[in-house]
Structure 1
Amino acid sequence: MAAGLVISAPASGVGKTTLTLALARAWRHRGLNVQCFKSGPDYIDPAFHAAATGRASVNVDSWAMDRGAISHLVSRGADADVVLAEGSMGLFDGVAAPGVSGTGATADIAEMLGWPVVLVIDPSGQAQTAAAIAAGLRDYRPGVRLAGVVLNRVASPRHEDLVRRALNDAGIAVFGALPRHAEISLPKRHLGLVQAEEQAEIGKLIDEAARFVAEHVDLDAVLRSAASWTPQPAANGLNVTPPGQRIALARDAAFSFVYPHMLEAWRGAGAEISTFSPLSDEAPDASADVCWLPGGYPELHAGKIAANARFRSGLRAFAETRPVHGECGGYMVLGTALTDADGVRHEMTGLLGLETSFAKRRMHLGYRLATLAAPMPGHRPSARLRGHEFHYSTILAQPDTPLAVVHDATGAVIAETGSQRGHATGTFFHLIAEDR
């Protein structure tokens, strides 16, 4: 029987990921088997979780997934001693209109699984007010239980004492207080954290975080606060159809954003995945029956992609007879051209007419519900796909046949329709699940 906890906070940027990684590694050092999950659509954190625990982590999302799918994914923690679900944004932050089983808020997952919440509170610039915030979060939704708090970035022993006293008066347990410690800060990029696979010293960084947290946090008290949990059998699993039997998947520093549960679902359905690196000028496997270009950071490697003739010609030859699909960054590379942040225009593969620019950055962020107007690999016309879009590129041209009618979480129609031309398709959103 595992012990389940949710790690959350009042807001983003407070230290949820660092605490999650530190707790996972510290308990692993004690011989415990730790499984992590990520609540919400963030596709970077699961790789950090895997680095800390040695076990694959996946996303669970109440806006895009039904309870059966979430139960199916979480059941992988059945053989663990401790299961940690790291939240996104603030505890109750989600979209205004519910999706499949909730609004995408971390609180949905905490209530659904019955796991208590450990709050990370950053009391910078305040003292007793931190207790008022914690108490408000504790009382906001009756079905969500607060286990206690960990204070992060406390300024001094006096500061810590003021906050601790106020929290104790409010009846809220304080598991520990972390002074500022720059050495365990995780580097960031415009889409969030720099990916785990890009950091050669990630193991040492997590070890240092674990040592630091173990020195300042009562790990036994945190563990005792967890809920005993046995996964409930799911009536159904993920509603995911592989895009093909043999999938050529672009995989390198420019093409790295794909939800782990999608790849697992493809393999679980019997599909074979072969990877290739466009940055190494590799073409997709000629024996594959579909090619998939996930998102990533093509804007950081646009010059190299434009210069890699073997990749570009190989992809074009593949697309003459078989489907090719791109998500977000992959969609941009299927287009005609990409202008980087310095204003330099780079020719892409030209399978679609899309042209994008990072010279004038504008954030596009949010859930997407797409109704397909044309087929795409693994999905029929009229299928309703749920996904998430996050990028800073601007569309200069999107001349091809729209792939879908796309709405945001409020129901508003958006301009990022995706594209279809010949065997090539692309979307700006990353696919999470198909509606049943």
Structure 2
Amino acid sequence: MTTQAIMVAAPRSGGGKTTLTLALLAAFGRRGLRVGAVKTGPDYIDPAFHAAITGRPGLNLDSWCMPSNLLHRVMQAACQDVDILVVESAMGLFDGLSLSDGQRGAPSDIAAFFGIPVLLVLDMSGQGQSVGPVAKGFAQWSPHVQVNGVVLNRVASARHERLGREAVMAADLPVYGALMRQGGQTLPERHLGLVQAREHGDLPGWLADLADKAERELDLDGILAAARPIRTQPVEYGAAGLLPPPGQRIAVADDAAFSFLYGHLALFWRQAGAELVPFSPLADERPDPSCTACWLPGGYPELHAEQLAAAETFRTGLAQFAQTRPVHGECGGFMVLGQVLEDAQGAHHRMAGLLGHSTSFARRKLNLGYREATLVKDGVLGARGAHLRGHEFHYATVVDGGADAPLASLRSGIGEELGFCGGQRGFVSGSFFHVLATVPE
């Protein structure tokens, strides 16, 4: 069966995209369909929820970070053995950088690139018939993006639903259901987004309730009929843009403090022949000494700083590993490689001490945006002068930069020079920068 796809999008963040996406995945899976999901943009939390439902890697598609061949390669992986693929957009449907369409990092780029029809979720909080003009404007904004229908969200009553439904239908768009405002359906959040899927005690029960809600309140048959076959093309195995595995056997920190490893990196590293060996710093585990590299992903070390500081076996084992083999930390992993981490209450906690910087979550400043990194010298991420694309998203700040050599120079998504980032010393490197892809020569 050819994979059918539909994109769940909205005019803005916080409009209900994740709730609708999870409801569709749960309900379609209950019907016996093989479900898959992918997230546009560089978000790493929502794909973990997708993976929890589908049993498949959580994957990302990003039109600014990824060259076209890599987009096709990720999409092929997302569609393998899948009947219906739900693509969850980031931000608003047309939100992205102020660059040319197709390269902006906007969800609309992905919809146009693969010919994916859009299911627009409209939050009716505080409005009635005004959802009609909003729907019509989104449907007519771009000839390359097809809005196939609407789901109304946070609807207060039958009368409220009727007002919204009539207005959207007057805009010549079908309405595929209305999710009624209801307590107990909201996922908890924290400073980087939703609380992680692995931290929910009864996620299966919550998803079952969500599937029930979808069956009651959505036209699931209509949504399936609105989906269309994916427009993709074969790509050779070594597609441009892939970050090579950092080693043949990679020790990967994996627990509530270290969970932001992109699914496409892990998947393609394994396909390239690498083995990923998980370990838990929070459980005071050391990286497996038989590994040839160690990767500390981002996550929430600021919430577990006291426990990490007490993990003597982890710190000692990591230091021994780093004497002879590469250790790289991204964002939260970079924080743990430093000297000290100051938590939200101002308490200072000793970290691994393999790099000279110290960070603080008490002195917060939002850093968010696309980044292109140019490596300063040869290292685990590539050769000197290599260009990588990814993003930063953190509130922690560097309060003492230390004396290590920088890892890379940074530019913003629109080419602004941002200076040097990160640090490297011996076999150890790290920065707040999350890498998604390499820039082809």
TM-score category (smaller protein): over 0.9
Deviates more, 1:36-45 or 1:407-416: 407-416
Q: Secondary structure at the match of 2:384?
A: coil
* 1:249-279 CA-partner distances (Å, limit 9, x unpaired): 1111111111011111111111111111111
Q: Distance in 2 between matches of 1:416 and 1:328?
A: 15
Could you tell me whether the CA contact under 8 Å between 2:10 and 2:91 is conserved in 1? yes
Shift, 1:232, TM fit: 2.0
Structure 1 residue identity aligned to 2:412 = D
Shift, 1:56, TM fit: 2.3
Query: What is the aligned length?
Result: 435
Q: 1:433 to 1:325 in 2, by over 3 A?
A: same
Could you tell me whether the CA contact under 8 Å between 2:114 and 2:231 is conserved in 1? no
**Residue matched to 2:108:** 107
Structure 2 residue identity aligned to 1:261 = H
**Residue matched to 2:300:** 297
Of residues 367, 388, 393 in structure 1, which corresponds to 2:391? 388
Q: Distance in 2 between matches of 1:139 and 1:176?
A: 21
Could you tell me whether the CA contact under 8 Å between 1:258 and 1:430 is conserved in 2? no
Could you tell me whether the CA contact under 8 Å between 1:63 and 1:98 is conserved in 2? no
Of residues 276, 299, 303 in structure 1, which corresponds to 2:279? 276
Establish whether residue 413 from structure 1 lines up as the match of residue 417 from structure 2: yes
Establish whether residue 429 from structure 1 lines up as the match of residue 433 from structure 2: yes
Structure 2 residue identity aligned to 1:402 = P
Deviates more, 1:68-77 or 1:296-305: 68-77
**TM-score normalised according to structure 2 size:** 0.96
**Residue matched to 1:80:** 82
Could you tell me whether the CA contact under 8 Å between 2:57 and 2:267 is conserved in 1? no
Q: 1:78 to 1:281 in 2, by over 3 A?
A: closer
Q: Distance in 1 between matches of 2:30 and 2:147?
A: 26
Q: Distance in 2 between matches of 1:93 and 1:383?
A: 28
Q: 1:38 to 1:413 in 2, by over 3 A?
A: same
Establish whether residue 14 from structure 1 lines up as the match of residue 15 from structure 2: yes
Q: Secondary structure at the match of 2:417?
A: coil
Shift, 1:113, TM fit: 0.8
Matches for 1:143-154 after TM superposition, within 5 Å: 143-154=144-155
Could you tell me whether the CA contact under 8 Å between 1:95 and 1:103 is conserved in 2? yes
Establish whether residue 89 from structure 1 lines up as the match of residue 88 from structure 2: no
Percent identity (aligned): 50
**Residue matched to 2:24:** 23
Could you tell me whether the CA contact under 8 Å between 2:295 and 2:329 is conserved in 1? yes
Shift, 1:413, TM fit: 2.3
**Residue matched to 1:185:** 186
Q: Secondary structure at the match of 1:118?
A: strand
Shift, 1:410, TM fit: 2.2
**Residue matched to 1:344:** 347
* 1:118-155 CA-partner distances (Å, limit 9, x unpaired): 01100111112111111111111110001100000012
Structure 2 runs not aligned, ≥5 long: none
Q: Distance in 1 between matches of 2:42 and 2:137?
A: 26
**Residue matched to 1:361:** 364
* 1:290-346 CA-partner distances (Å, limit 9, x unpaired): 111111100011111111111111111111111111000000100011100000011
Q: Secondary structure at the match of 2:51?
A: helix
Q: Distance in 2 between matches of 1:433 and 1:15?
A: 29
Q: Distance in 2 between matches of 1:422 and 1:51?
A: 38
Q: 1:342 to 1:417 in 2, by over 3 A?
A: same
**Residue matched to 2:251:** 248
* 1:17-54 CA-partner distances (Å, limit 9, x unpaired): 11111111111111111111111100011111122222
Structure 1 runs not aligned, ≥5 long: none
**Residue matched to 2:374:** 371
Q: Secondary structure at the match of 1:204?
A: helix
Structure 1 residue identity aligned to 2:97 = V
Structure 2 residue identity aligned to 1:336 = Q
**Residue matched to 1:196:** 197
Establish whether residue 33 from structure 1 lines up as the match of residue 37 from structure 2: no
Q: Distance in 1 between matches of 2:90 and 2:15?
A: 11
Q: Secondary structure at the match of 1:406?
A: strand
Q: 1:130 to 1:59 in 2, by over 3 A?
A: same
Could you tell me whether the CA contact under 8 Å between 1:97 and 1:409 is conserved in 2? no
Q: Distance in 2 between matches of 1:19 and 1:52?
A: 13
